Structure 1
Amino acid sequence: MADRSVVAWLPDFPILACGGTDTEPVAVVDRDMVVACSAAARADGVRRRMRLRSAQACSPQLRVVERDLVAEMRTFERVAGHLEATVMPRLEVIRPGLLAAPARGPARYWGGEQHLVERLVAAVAEVGLPARAGIADAVFTAALAARRGEIVPAGGDAAWLAPHPVGVLGVRQLAELLERLGVRTVGDFARLPADKVSARFGAEGLVAHRTARGEEPRPLIVRTGSDECTVTHRFEPAEERLEAAAFATKALADRFHDRLAAAGLVAARLEAVVDLADGRRLSRIFRHEGRLSSLAVTERVRGVLQAWTEAGVLGAGPERGLTALTLRPEQLSQDAGRQTALFGDRHTPEEIERAAARVQALLGHRAVVSMATGGGRAPAERVRLVPFGDVADARRDADGPWPGQIPAPYPAATFPEQLPAELSDADGRPVAVSGRLALSSAPALITVDGYGQAAVTGWAGPWPVLERWWDKDGGRRIARMQVAAADGHAWLLVIEQGRWWAEAHYG
């Protein structure tokens, strides 16, 4: 009989790890996107994957915390270590706040699956954190069931998943495409023929299809590895400094990924093993599945090492230092690649190239375009539409230097053609900018064609731009300002030859 999987889930763990509470509106942000939010923030309308600016508009009192994965791993290691010591001897960390383990052995020990779930939740509560747990045949189904605290009957994964929307499969682009095709539930997707799914959506779509059918693409096996892809760094003498160990981990993770890539393999899990000078060996297993970069591996290992240090497991002195650090892959499988056009990579399948060429033949070379980022002083210059098949101008380096480019925050939208605008003071006189970048008077009113007139509540600038000063006919001398209005609009204005124009809008 195939093994069952148990998953423990700690709701809003990134919020708990940074000291937040449900009563305070808090959002943990990574690269300007919300990755977790408290209950109070959700009550204000904040959601995961929401842009920071939109989240702050929903909740003006929102406290924003930049994500610290190392700190999350350090906090979560307390939970993982306690569960290993009190509930089940081996488990794997999927991400901070989510872990999994085979359920059959622990369920027998604790007197059944229901008792295992109750013991798991109680053990997490012993370290002062809330948790839910679920059991199913596949790890994915168990993780979804954990959010409801349910146990899926053996062999019932597919039926339990069937009513869920396709968005729960976790591949947003695939879900959006399936919904446009009329395939809105996991059950509808599971009923599609596997060969058709593979041909249309590629390897990653096929993995999602197996998940929808309740199958485990990479079964949860505690220890199956490959010595050929295992990498080890030995410290001579024993290393006592955490920073030096983290630096070695980054180099080791690079070697680890290089070996997997050279062999054309992907690992379902990664085990980090630490040998100590006193003869002890410590380890932690992470879910990998080809998704963890070298930096992500380093952050996870560093967080665990910090947790072990704070718990007194690691310490100073030659008898407590690290003598070796090993990264060992578990359950290797062939790296089948993925359908890159659907899932966001730069390369395009041959079928798409042929279709684009046919459209260009019918409608013209510029009928099919792609966006390319480049350098420029104005917002509209930084993103350009390049005809499909053309190579973007590599000379327009986005990093510059671009003297005169506007500072952050950047506009949400630019206009194809600048809109006529007027900027006047409290007496109705036009505001001008001198050659020394001094305003003739304080702005009080702004008028933009099509948007009406509003009072000015704040401004920044002006900033000068002098382009092609050596060219008598092609040179350009302008100044830009950011202006906020009482009606909620904010504008990027440009003044050229004494006239104001609205160049972009801040949403």
Structure 2
Amino acid sequence: MLAVWCPDWPAVAAAADADVSPARPVAVLTGSRVTACSAPARAEGVRRGLRKREAQARCPQLYVAGVDPDRDARLFEPVAAAVDAAVPGAEILRPGLIVLSARGAGRFFGSEEAAAERLVDEVASIGVECQIGVADQLTTAVIAARHGVLVPAGEGARFLAPLSMRELAAEPALAAPERDDLVDLLRRLGIRTIGEFAALPATDVASRFGTDAVLAHRAARGEPERPPSPRALPPDLVAEMHCDPLIERVDAAAFAGRALATRLHGVLTAAGVACTRLTITVVTDHGETHTRTWRCAEPLTPEATADRVRWQIDGWLTGRGRRGSDTPRPSAGIAVLRLDPVEVVSAGALQPGLWGGVGEEDERARRALTRVQGLLGGDAVRVGVLSGGRGPAERITLLPWGEEHTPERDPDQPWPGRLPEPSPTTLFPARPRIRVTGTGGGDVVVTDRGMFSDVPVHVAWGSRSWRVEACAGPWPVDEWWWDPRHVTTISRAQILLEDSRALLVVCDAEGWAVEGIYE
């Protein structure tokens, strides 16, 4: 596989769209945090994850743009066209990343090195910088592109071994959303490099972690990941629309693309399959044909299909690439729009959602919540956002639906004394009072040295009493000790009862109370 990676593409696209000089620092924000930044911005100390105010404090001349997937995809079309003109068969993983077969390119240009040089020159001719990576497997090739390395055949595992585990989660187009959590967990277990992860037995990884961990483990070992699907395509899967009147505007193309995506997924569902590689084709009224293939790590949903159709047609119709791009625009309106599933998998790969059909749950949930909010008021519908804090209740910030998800406290701070994972499944805001007694029959308290005054033996809650099977803690918390009006001194502990229930309990000046239950 050969990967063509354009570094910092969201920032590059934002600068090109606003006609900002490439030498000026640029940052792209999602909400109020930096999600992408250019090399000049990083040189000034701007990093992903910074808040807007801190990024601007580090770099006062920073140009700030909002995240815009449509812009990124539209401006990437000239790059895809340049790569496809040099080596046909290119597939877009996401705006900023293209993959293709290295074997054909190497044969045509004489070697993989010559093919890489030619592709760098082709992309540079339209004013874009890129890096090339070549390896046996897709994930290895993408990681190699980030390092600008051509990995010899059979050396993928050796190339990956010394790299950080973060490399396996760096590319969202190849990793499930939970990949970051997997990497964090492995780091806490002492596994910090890809080689250490690859050394784990495959059976242990499969039994301890989820499906995505198995895929990451195969990638770490340089094993085949997802070869071209051997499944025979069922007949009549192509969805085609003859446009009357002709499509000449992006908004009309988006409407037609959404309708055609819905039709295609109806056909796929009836056939019991889901699409992982999709070819989008348009034919103009003058007979011109434009084709582009998108490759996806996960089976496409109707919304994801419609997005890719909109992005692609936007790039074709507007022809708005970077300065100096000569990407041809259609000379007439679009007469035919066709979606062709190139690769399919069993529909079992898609998990039906809580709100209904596959791929529809997010949109239906948004509509339902917005309607309830309109009926009951803006503050009637709230969503939880992970926040910073030491107790489980403190780590939840409830915000009205539709507002920016800005936590009350920064969850990335260390928060010493924070309750260990996992958090309770049920919390009690009122904290009902209980009594904890020890071996001598007296009340158990937490001493000034942060220890139990006696071994907890019984818990009395209301009219009922349980024997304590085990306990953990206590974990003292001493906050605002410098301010007598806000000083908080409590201790948390976990208690396992004889009926297998586990309680999170809090000891304060008034005694013990239940903060949550583990179920």
Taking structure 1 as the reference length, what is the TM-score of the superposition? 0.63
What residue number does 1:314 align with?
A: 330
What residue number does 2:443 align with?
A: none
1:249 to 240, 250, 257: 257
How big is the shift at 1:337? 4.8
Assess, with a 3 A threshold, how the Cα gap between structure 1 residues 306 and 165 changes in structure 2: closer, same or farther. same
How big is the shift at 1:66? 0.9
Residues in 2 aligned to 1:278 and 1:164: alpha-carbon distance in whole angstroms? 51
Total equivalences in the alignment: 368
Query: Which letter maps to 2:186?
Result: L
**Does the aligned pair in 1 maintain the 2:26–2:63 contact within 8 Å?**
yes
How big is the shift at 1:407? 10
2:11 to 15, 18, 26: 15
Moved more, 289-298 or 15-24: 289-298
Query: Which letter maps to 1:173?
Result: D
Residues in 2 aligned to 1:150 and 1:34: alpha-carbon distance in whole angstroms? 28
**Does the aligned pair in 2 maintain the 1:204–1:339 contact within 8 Å?**
no
Assess, with a 3 A threshold, how the Cα gap between structure 1 residues 50 and 261 changes in structure 2: closer, same or farther. farther
After superposition, the C-alpha distances for 1:471-500 in whole angstroms (9 at most, x for unaligned) are: xxxxxxxxxxxxxxxxxxxxxxxxxxxxxx
How big is the shift at 1:37? 0.2
Residues in 2 aligned to 1:383 and 1:105: alpha-carbon distance in whole angstroms? 50
What residue number does 2:336 align with?
A: 324
Query: Which letter maps to 2:13?
Result: A
How big is the shift at 1:84? 1.9
Unaligned runs of 5+ in 1: 348-373, 386-395, 401-405, 418-447, 453-507
Aligned to 2:335, what secondary structure does the other structure show?
strand
What residue number does 2:26 align with?
A: 26
RMSD: 4.0
Percent identity, aligned pairs only, is 38
**Does the aligned pair in 1 maintain the 2:273–2:345 contact within 8 Å?**
yes
1:234 to 224, 242, 252: 242
What residue number does 2:95 align with?
A: 96
**Does the aligned pair in 2 maintain the 1:266–1:290 contact within 8 Å?**
no
What residue number does 2:394 align with?
A: none
Residues in 2 aligned to 1:449 and 1:182: alpha-carbon distance in whole angstroms? 35
Matched, 1:187 2:199: no
Query: Which letter maps to 1:195?
Result: T
Residues in 2 aligned to 1:413 and 1:6: alpha-carbon distance in whole angstroms? 40
2:311 to 265, 281, 303: 303
Query: Which letter maps to 2:4?
Result: A
**Does the aligned pair in 2 maintain the 1:201–1:339 contact within 8 Å?**
no
Residues in 2 aligned to 1:9 and 1:257: alpha-carbon distance in whole angstroms? 30
What residue number does 2:455 align with?
A: none
Assess, with a 3 A threshold, how the Cα gap between structure 1 residues 138 and 383 changes in structure 2: closer, same or farther. closer
Assess, with a 3 A threshold, how the Cα gap between structure 1 residues 274 and 162 changes in structure 2: closer, same or farther. same
What residue number does 1:272 align with?
A: 280
Residues in 2 aligned to 1:338 and 1:158: alpha-carbon distance in whole angstroms? 30
Residues in 1 aligned to 2:249 and 2:25: alpha-carbon distance in whole angstroms? 37
1:412 to 409, 412, 416: 409
After superposition, the C-alpha distances for 1:454-474 in whole angstroms (9 at most, x for unaligned) are: xxxxxxxxxxxxxxxxxxxxx
Matched, 1:333 2:345: yes
Assess, with a 3 A threshold, how the Cα gap between structure 1 residues 279 and 49 changes in structure 2: closer, same or farther. same
Taking structure 2 as the reference length, what is the TM-score of the superposition? 0.61
How big is the shift at 1:301? 2.8
Assess, with a 3 A threshold, how the Cα gap between structure 1 residues 212 and 297 changes in structure 2: closer, same or farther. same
Residues in 2 aligned to 1:334 and 1:58: alpha-carbon distance in whole angstroms? 50
**Does the aligned pair in 2 maintain the 1:91–1:222 contact within 8 Å?**
no
After superposition, the C-alpha distances for 1:72-117 in whole angstroms (9 at most, x for unaligned) are: 22221111112222x2112011111111110111111111011111
Aligned to 2:10, what secondary structure does the other structure show?
helix
How big is the shift at 1:127? 0.9
After superposition, the C-alpha distances for 1:304-346 in whole angstroms (9 at most, x for unaligned) are: 323323345324xxxx322222222222223565999xxxx98
Aligned to 1:303, what secondary structure does the other structure show?
helix
After superposition, the C-alpha distances for 1:426-481 in whole angstroms (9 at most, x for unaligned) are: xxxxxxxxxxxxxxxxxxxxxx99469xxxxxxxxxxxxxxxxxxxxxxxxxxxxx
Matched, 1:215 2:223: yes
What residue number does 2:471 align with?
A: none
How big is the shift at 1:290? 2.1
Assess, with a 3 A threshold, how the Cα gap between structure 1 residues 299 and 43 changes in structure 2: closer, same or farther. same
Assess, with a 3 A threshold, how the Cα gap between structure 1 residues 154 and 43 changes in structure 2: closer, same or farther. same
Aligned 1:11-90 pairs, distance under 5 A: 11-19=7-15, 20-21=20-21, 23-52=23-52, 55-56=55-56, 58-85=58-85, 87-90=86-89
How big is the shift at 1:230? 3.3
What residue number does 2:501 align with?
A: none
Query: Which letter maps to 1:15?
Result: A
**Does the aligned pair in 2 maintain the 1:15–1:27 contact within 8 Å?**
yes
Residues in 2 aligned to 1:248 and 1:32: alpha-carbon distance in whole angstroms? 33
Aligned to 2:147, what secondary structure does the other structure show?
coil
Aligned 1:123-272 pairs, distance under 5 A: 123-170=122-169, 171-219=179-227, 226-260=234-268, 265-272=273-280
